[in-house]
């Protein structure tokens, strides 16, 4: 009798284990990407619908566009800081290169291709092609600058790397300020800035570029290249001893960060309509770095949330113009005191993993593991 009871208990435990194994079986990778793509597309279309029906004003649309731009800037800097573990302070320089390169190319090619200002609003094929080409050109030019500065600079670490990248950003600002007089051409507009930039940035194309950028960065960090970059961050000597080409992967991360900063700068030029060298000084690099630190080093979701909050907060406090920067500073100080690792630390939310947990019966309010997600999942 006792043996029979023991056998029954063993069978029930085995059945529970089998059920748990079925529940933990993950979604196929194509299904994960399909879910994320559909939800992202749905959110972008919903936002565009609200804009078309005037629920969201033009001013609010402009703020949302800047939110998307700073998401790209923060996540791209996170590649070099959170994932690679370096401290570059020249991100504003790459942003300015992308913005100037894209806007100059578009303004020069508009008469050649017969594209007018209105064509960017109506999204004609020629205007769309020019937009894509301009954004890619801005990213490539920033990546080239990243190679030029990255190869010698990444031999340094810590404060020394921060100083040399800060100096590079200042060189870029001075070049943009004086290049017209040197080459004898009207390129950057000098101190008064480059004006007359067409409004080729919109809510739709901004967040499509944001989605593509986040997907590419996520995919890179999930690949063997990303694992090599993380290994260098954790222990550079051990990574090199294991056969990781440290110079190559540090340069890859730095150049990738510069490329996406150039893409963000290209969108920024079309959003504000004027490119001035003074906009890309030391404080712009610090502003982007604060977004990364506030959200959490190595957390893509954290960078996204902090970029959103720190872009909207000054605008929300604009009615309190005399005090808004004080409130802004107090919020940052409180976060750094009580959450020095950032809002999310190294945590990254995984929607597909959350769905898997719900399908397996592990609900967030019953089991804390469902809410944790898995860092780096699709």
37-55 residue pLDDT tens: 888 899 999 999 999 998 9
* H helix intervals, the chain: 2-24, 29-52, 58-78, 91-113, 117-122, 125-153, 158-183, 203-222, 224-234, 236-241, 246-272, 282-295, 300-316, 324-338, 351-359, 369-372
Sorting pLDDT into bands at 50, 70 and 90, what band is 256? very high
pLDDT value of residue 318? 75
Domain boundaries of the chain, sorted by first residue: 60-282
pLDDT digits (tens, 9 = 90+) for 333-359: 887 788 777 776 666 666 666 666 666
* Cβ atoms of 200 and 134 closer than 8 Å: yes
Residue 87 confidence class, pLDDT cut points 50, 70, 90: confident
DSSP 55: S
pLDDT at 159 (0 to 100): 77
Residue 194, SS3 per DSSP: strand
Q: Give the number of other CB atoms < 10 A from CB of residue 106.
A: 26
Q: What is the mean pLDDT of residues 26-34?
A: 73
How large is the average pLDDT for residues 122-139? 93
* Separation of alpha carbons 104 and 189, rounded Å: 11
Backbone torsions φ then ψ of 90, nearest 5 degrees? -115, 25
Cα distance between residue 50 and residue 52, in whole Å: 6
* Residue carrying the six token digits 């800060």: 166
Rounded distance between C-alpha atoms, residue 319 and residue 326, angstroms: 13
Count CB-CB contacts under 10 A for residue 373: 18
**How far apart (Å, rounded) are the C-alpha atoms in residues 236 and 250?**
10
C-alpha to C-alpha distance for 227 and 229, rounded to whole angstroms? 5
What local confidence, expressed as pLDDT, does residue 138 receive?
A: 95
Please determine, for residue 133, whether its predicted confidence score (pLDDT) is greater than 90. Answer: yes
- Which of 286, 121, 141, 139 minimizes the C-alpha distance to 213? 139
Identify the residue whose tokens are 């570059």. 88
What is the gyration radius of the CA atoms in the chain, in angstroms?
A: 24
Q: Residue 346 has what pLDDT? A: 63
3 state DSSP class of 226: helix
Which ranges of 53-90 would DSSP assign to H, the alpha helix? 58-78
């Amino acid at each position: 009798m006792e043996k029979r009871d023991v056998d029954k208990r063993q069978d029930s435990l085995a059945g529970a284990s089998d059920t748990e194994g079925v529940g933990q079986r993950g979604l196929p990778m194509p299904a994960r990407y399909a879910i994320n793509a559909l939800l992202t597309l749905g959110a972008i279309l919903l936002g565009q619908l609200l804009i078309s029906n005037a629920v969201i004003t033009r001013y609010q649309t402009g703020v949302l566009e800047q939110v998307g731009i700073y998401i790209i800037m923060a996540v791209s800097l996170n590649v070099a800081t959170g994932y690679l573990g370096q401290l570059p302070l020249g991100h504003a320089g790459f942003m300015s290169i992308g913005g100037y390169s894209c806007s100059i190319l578009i303004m020069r090619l508009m008469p050649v291709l017969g594209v007018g200002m209105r064509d960017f609003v109506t999204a004609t094929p020629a205007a769309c092609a020019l937009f894509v080409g301009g954004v890619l050109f801005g990213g490539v030019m920033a990546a080239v600058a990243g190679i030029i500065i990255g190869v010698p600079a990444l031999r340094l670490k810590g404060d020394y790397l921060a100083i040399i990248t800060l100096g590079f950003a200042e060189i870029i600002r001075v070049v943009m300020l004086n290049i017209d007089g040197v080459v004898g051409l009207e390129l950057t507009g000098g101190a008064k800035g480059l004006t007359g930039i067409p409004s080729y940035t919109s809510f739709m194309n901004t967040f499509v570029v944001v989605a593509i950028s986040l997907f590419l960065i996520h995919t890179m960090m999930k690949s063997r290249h990303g694992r090599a970059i993380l290994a260098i961050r954790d222990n550079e000597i051990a990574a090199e001893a294991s056969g990781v080409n440290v110079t190559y992967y540090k340069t890859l991360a730095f150049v990738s960060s510069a490329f996406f900063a150039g893409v963000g700068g290209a969108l920024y030029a079309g959003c504000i309509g004027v490119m001035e060298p003074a906009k890309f000084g030391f404080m712009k690099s610090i502003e982007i770095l604060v977004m990364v630190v506030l959200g959490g080093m190595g957390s893509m979701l954290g960078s996204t949330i902090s970029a959103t909050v720190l872009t909207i907060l000054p605008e929300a406090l604009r009615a309190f113009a005399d005090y808004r920067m004080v409130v802004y500073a107090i919020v940052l100080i409180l976060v750094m005191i009580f959450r020095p690792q950032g809002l999310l630390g190294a945590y990254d939310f995984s929607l597909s993993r959350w769905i898997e947990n719900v399908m397996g019966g592990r609900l967030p309010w019953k089991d804390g593991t469902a809410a944790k997600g898995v860092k780096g999942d699709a």
